[in-house]
Structure 1
Amino acid sequence: MTPEEREVYDKTQKAREEEEQGQLPYMWRQTLQDVDVTIPVPKGTRGRDLQVELKKKHIKVALKGQPALIEGELCKDIKVDDSTWTIDNQQEVLVHLEKSNQMTWWENVVTTAPKIDTKKIQPENSKLDDLDGETRAMVEKMMFDQRQKAMNKPDSDTLRKQQVFESFKQQHPEMDFSNVKFDQ
């Protein structure tokens, strides 16, 4: 596909995905840690009017005596004890699902719903300050390597190898290193 064809294809897919998601009886959004589902209900709805079930791999939200607003097998497992639901302004049920695996994006909330393309998810920007030391160092290294690659320069691992090699050369001036090549 040419870049232009890819752009048209991506726009078409995005429009189709938005239409499919817009037809669901709920809205949802996610981070790597959790999924939040917003389900409109008739104004004046109270907790006692609802039947809500949150299980490791299953969800059900219904007005008592009526068909479920959402019900089915969850896309992935949740931490039941950390998942909650509330009613907002007596007109929306807010369901917070804490993901068991906090390193994956969900394609949908329930497996019977249309899927989204998780490769196209744009995560919200987080601050490097929010990360623990080890994670921050890894992210900074990845960002450095990405910038270096964009400029056709060696990544951090190659630079480190070159520094070690230069140090070794200085310690051993008697050796001939003229035929040494570095892979990038």
Structure 2
Amino acid sequence: MSADEAQFDNVLLAVAEKHRGGVPDFLHTLASFLRRKTDFYTGAKQAEWEKLLLDVFRKESQLAMAAHEEKVKVRQAAQRMKDEKERAEREARQKEMDDNKICDISDEEAAAIIKEEEDKKRQQLLDGAGGDSASVTAANEDISKPIEKVEDETEKDEIGKLKPNAGNGCTLDKYMWTQTLQEVELKIPFNVAFALRARDIVVSIGKKSLKVGLKGQEPIIDGELCGEVKQEESVWVLQDSKTVLITLEKINRMNWWSRLVTTDPEISTRKINPEPSKLSDLDGETRSMVEKMMYDQRQKEMGLPTSEDRKKQDILEKFKQQHPEMDFSKCKFN
């Protein structure tokens, strides 16, 4: 597009926005202007002005179609790269699962492991250290604490919510989870005196539900997820015969989760600090969209204009400058 073509964009956009009927009403206004203010229709034969209109619109249509096809090619190329990346990630996860497969052991081996675990627990008790998984978790991962005070008055609603952990998630008594815009990773340590096998564990991942626990016992987690996930892309593995690791692929990759399941305490998503490297993993179009949405969300929370509001204000200001003879003092704009 040349500079000459774009010089009237702001004026035309401001005019077009006044037409509630959309393009048909806008074109009707242009045609009416030519009828009332020019000899467009009477100064030439009908066939001539019809040909002129068709030539202009055909030319612009060809340019529009060419630009559209180019955008489609770029999106398709980006989608292919995204699909290839996801395929590579799936293969990597599958390899990790294969590498961590638990093999069945004999009863004699299980008895030896149980005795070893019990000996360790007795030694821990003698040393004054608790042996339950919550104590171990608390020792290794700080339990998420509630926000007690804020510096900015606009953040007073965040008081009482939990601070996100280092992984932008939450660390609770029985499990901890972290997140990126693309996925949630959950770690659940089990307090048992024997080596777990995959068949001892119940893991049920629904589109918006999760159930995890040991067979025959109350589940550790059984509830509705904060957001929907891709069931076919979500996986779990048993690590070190004691800990279950679950990776949940988000369907909505534009929002941060404020909790894992709806019964969990809420974390402050305003305190989340995403790593720039995570955003750089996204393709250009998706990254721009994510950054715009995050910016708009922060602006709304602070009562400030969004990017769309700023764009409309800029158009209005330019229109005012181009038409100083017009009085806008009594006009109200949404």
TM-score, normalization by structure 2: 0.37
Partner of 1:102: 253
Do the aligned partners of residues 127 and 26 (structure 1) sit closer, same or farther apart at CA in structure 2, a change above 3 Å counting?
closer
CA distance in 1, matches of 2:291, 2:250: 26
Do the aligned partners of residues 134 and 45 (structure 1) sit closer, same or farther apart at CA in structure 2, a change above 3 Å counting?
same
Contact 1:25–1:70 under 8 Å retained in 2: no
SS in 2 for 1:52: strand
Partner of 1:7: 151
Shift of 1:125: 2.1
Task: Tell me, yes or no, if structure 1 residue 38 matches structure 2 residue 182.
Answer: no
CA distance in 1, matches of 2:243, 2:235: 14
Deviations 1:77-130 (A, max 9, x none): 110000011111111100111011111111111101101111211112217764
The aligned runs of 1:18-97 (5 Å cut-off) are: 18=163, 21-41=170-190, 42=192, 44-97=195-248
Do the aligned partners of residues 113 and 89 (structure 1) sit closer, same or farther apart at CA in structure 2, a change above 3 Å counting?
same
Letter in 2 for 1:33: Q
Contact 1:58–1:73 under 8 Å retained in 2: yes
Larger radius of gyration: 2
Do the aligned partners of residues 14 and 121 (structure 1) sit closer, same or farther apart at CA in structure 2, a change above 3 Å counting?
farther
Q: Which runs of 5+ in 2 are unaligned?
A: 1-148, 165-169, 293-310, 325-334
CA distance in 2, matches of 1:81, 1:114: 28
Do the aligned partners of residues 65 and 122 (structure 1) sit closer, same or farther apart at CA in structure 2, a change above 3 Å counting?
same
SS in 1 for 2:220: strand
CA distance in 1, matches of 2:226, 2:289: 29
Deviations 1:49-98 (A, max 9, x none): 01110010110001001000111011111100000111111111001110
CA distance in 1, matches of 2:242, 2:183: 22
Partner of 2:39: none
SS in 1 for 2:246: strand
How many residues matched? 147
Shift of 1:23: 3.7
Contact 2:171–2:177 under 8 Å retained in 1: no
Contact 2:180–2:278 under 8 Å retained in 1: no
Contact 1:25–1:69 under 8 Å retained in 2: yes
CA distance in 2, matches of 1:49, 1:69: 14
Contact 2:183–2:247 under 8 Å retained in 1: yes
TM-score, normalization by structure 1: 0.63
CA RMSD between the two structures: 3.7
Do the aligned partners of residues 140 and 17 (structure 1) sit closer, same or farther apart at CA in structure 2, a change above 3 Å counting?
closer
Letter in 2 for 1:99: K
Q: Which runs of 5+ in 1 are unaligned?
A: 142-156, 166-176, 180-184
Which structure is higher in helix share?
A: 2
Contact 1:59–1:71 under 8 Å retained in 2: yes
Partner of 2:162: 17
Which structure is higher in strand share?
A: 1
The aligned runs of 1:129-144 (5 Å cut-off) are: 130-135=281-286
CA distance in 2, matches of 1:136, 1:18: 26
